[in-house]
Structure 1
Amino acid sequence: MMTIKDIAGLAGVTPMTVSNVLRNRGRVGELTRQRVMEVVEAHGYRPNLTARALVERRAPTLALMLGCITNPFYPEFTLQANNAARRHGRFLLVCNTDYEPDSGTRFMADVAGSLSDGILVANTGELRVEELKAIQASGTPVVVSVWEFPDEPPEGIPCVAFDSRKAGRIATEHLLELGHTRIGALVASAKKGIHGGRYQGYCDAMRAAKVKHVLADAHFGEDSYQGGYDAAIALLTTRPDLTALFVSNDLPALGVLNAAASLGRSVPGDLSVVSITNIELTGQSRPALTTVSIPTAEMAEASVDLLIRLIGQPGAHVPMVMTSDPVLIRRASTAPLQASPAPSRSR
């Protein structure tokens, strides 16, 4: 098997120079770099990551624990996190827990300090903070990303957060500005669950506009396409005069579009729909979904950068990193309230 010493001998340089070229670090002249790469490519050399880890006394990977890889948000987040990890010369080791906390516990216990120098947790609302603290205490840094409650960071765990309450407010204000007042809310979690901040933003906007909101106009459920479909069927059947829906996440909002079609409600003619997150599919649906974009790429990159910093500076105190504000992305699923009112109802 070809070794780094073999490559160095053939290229007429030191093994350290070969290492610097392969890891894109240090000062290496362009001609030397080209000569080394020509030898590497000619002999199909691949670094021995296990040997590198032993020499450098650090794992070549960062671990990412996420909830469900079939939810389109997580592959998009993972792609950005992987790109950031590669810029730091690391590989990303991904665990899909399928929303089972015990699976995450086993994953962290297996990789902490051996397969991975640090663990990044994409928040799904099912954090076991004491377990994360125990991992930290063992010497492996942990960072929680996509934290939705910046006023209440997880105690003792560094996190990267965005203002979910502001996202909910922006989405609802958009519907109010279009003239809608009969606005239902489909929340893809429990009322005080992970999307509770988004729902509170909806309530803030309704209250500020002096528009009454009753719990009968809200549905709390599952963060999935089918969950959005079922919730919309139930809510629009019992509350047929709703002219707009605030949906706390994009995936169930795509289910809402299909449910509206099943009920013979045109979007946005009969029903405006706004959501939060801005996954790629929202621009490809018909109609394209108006949504409030959260800083997914920024959160992923900031989380990896923070994790690398904590690996290099054990014990550094970084309670929370805030990312950019959410931004409304106007598309075709929202429109001004139609002149002819929907059927009235009694409250």
Structure 2
Amino acid sequence: MPTPTLAEVARHAGVTPATVSNVLRGRGRVGEATRERVLAAIAALGYRPHLPARALAEGRAPTMALMVPSIANPFYPEFALAVENALRNTGQFLIICNTDGDPVTGRAYLEQIAGTLSEGVLVTNANLDFDDLRRTESRGAPVVLCMWERPLEPPGLPCVAVDFRLAGELAARHLIELGHWRVGAIVGSKATGIHAARYEGFLDAMRAAGLDGAAAPTIFTPDTTQGGYAAARELLGRHPDLTALFTTNDLPALGAMQAAADLGFDVPRQLSVVGITDIQLASESRPALSTVAVPTAEAAGLAVKLLRELIAQTGRAAKERKAPREATVCVTSAPRLVVRASTARAPTA
């Protein structure tokens, strides 16, 4: 059976092809009755838009790309879902590119997708070279960095920033207010890596409380459950007097709680553990993880909005031969502490 065309849908609904196109894209002024008639015709005929043909006809791809470092990390599917929800009413689709943290893989995605299959690129912590991203912009495919961790230090590229230094401070302050002063730190990156701002927030809170945060036992480890597990075993083996663990992300925190259980520590009676991000697993673990929630859905919505604005600006600038505007920085609302069952007052003995 031949695939129905847009013109056939229009005849079936008794409207023009332009009206069908407007309904599909969520554009133009279409009355509710007409819209329902078009949607009924689409369903009756089984019409599916031909995306390559649409891209050729419009001179633009109907998709955005999202670059992530690891689709196995639960945060990134959650962020991708939030991006998809933000795109849902725009008539665009989402392509997810998993780089495995490899800049060569990321560069290949940028060269093959940006500007052809995708008219714009959202980038999370995918370990991509900024020069590669600027070259992508120069080819007419705008780029937006998502979840940038230092709002006061713009990267020179359009970005949506979250104050992760404050997130680290809130997590550490929570432990200090519970009476913990023998605190170990598990950082899910290198010392100068993507979690550095979170660790700096921890040090800020320790100094503010009159504690020497720099002397706190600290391990830098991969941002995984396994990394947190190994780091916690090492910290608790060397420093069994620790009463709390600060971790820069939820996955290492969950691994740390597993290690504590295997070593015979009761969480939270003997050992408190706090994370950052508030992925879904944080509330589903036992004990449920105390963490600092970051505004993931808000960041995704701002990133999509900013990218769409940049795409429109790029089109106008190309027509008018104008230089693009200075890189925009959007800052989300502040992170917030979520207290659950993995933290309690420090033991007195």
Q: Which TM-score tier does this pair reach, normalised by the shorter chain?
A: over 0.9
Please say if 1:109 is aligned against 2:118: no
Distance (Å, rounded) in 1 between the aligned partners of 2:139 and 2:190: 33
Aligned residues, how many? 338
Please say if 1:51 is aligned against 2:60: no
Distance (Å, rounded) in 2 between the aligned partners of 1:295 and 1:35: 38
- Structural RMSD (CA): 1.2
Shift in Å, 1:10: 2.0
Shift in Å, 1:216: 5.7
Distance (Å, rounded) in 1 between the aligned partners of 2:181 and 2:215: 15
Distance (Å, rounded) in 2 between the aligned partners of 1:65 and 1:9: 40
TM-score by length of 2: 0.94
In the TM superposition, what are the counterparts of 1:107-186 in structure 2 within 5 Å?
Answer: 107-124=109-126, 126-155=127-156, 157-186=157-186
Distance (Å, rounded) in 2 between the aligned partners of 1:27 and 1:277: 41
Please say if 1:192 is aligned against 2:201: no
Query: Cα deviation per residue 1:128-156 (whole Å; 9 max; x = unaligned)?
Result: 1111111111111011111112222212x
Shift in Å, 1:303: 0.8
Shift in Å, 1:299: 1.1
Range with greater deviation from structure 2 (16-25 or 247-256):
16-25
Shift in Å, 1:289: 0.2
Q: Secondary structure at the match of 1:94?
A: strand
Distance (Å, rounded) in 2 between the aligned partners of 1:215 and 1:69: 35
Which residue of structure 1 aligns with residue 201 of structure 2? 201
Shift in Å, 1:215: 4.3
Distance (Å, rounded) in 2 between the aligned partners of 1:95 and 1:189: 21
Shift in Å, 1:27: 1.9
Structure 2 counterpart of 1:133, one-letter code = R
Which residue of structure 2 aligns with residue 336 of structure 1? 345
Structure 1 counterpart of 2:337, one-letter code = L
Distance (Å, rounded) in 2 between the aligned partners of 1:21 and 1:37: 8
Please say if 1:32 is aligned against 2:34: yes
Please say if 1:242 is aligned against 2:242: yes
Shift in Å, 1:214: 4.0
Structure 2 counterpart of 1:135, one-letter code = T
Shift in Å, 1:38: 2.1
- Aligned match of 2:43 in 19, 41, 44? 41
Q: Secondary structure at the match of 1:313?
A: helix
Which residue of structure 1 aligns with residue 336 of structure 2? 327
Shift in Å, 1:228: 0.2
Q: Secondary structure at the match of 2:337?
A: strand
Distance (Å, rounded) in 1 between the aligned partners of 2:35 and 2:235: 64
User: 2:183·2:216 contact (CA, 8 Å) conserved in 1?
Assistant: no
The alpha-carbon distance between structure 1 residues 40 and 319, as it changes in their structure 2 partners (threshold 3 A), is closer
Distance (Å, rounded) in 2 between the aligned partners of 1:135 and 1:39: 40
Shift in Å, 1:313: 0.6
- Aligned match of 1:20 in 19, 22, 26? 22
Shift in Å, 1:48: 1.7
User: 2:26·2:89 contact (CA, 8 Å) conserved in 1?
Assistant: no
Distance (Å, rounded) in 2 between the aligned partners of 1:34 and 1:148: 44
Structure 1 counterpart of 2:177, one-letter code = E
Shift in Å, 1:29: 2.2
Long gaps (5+) in structure 1: 341-347
Shift in Å, 1:12: 1.6
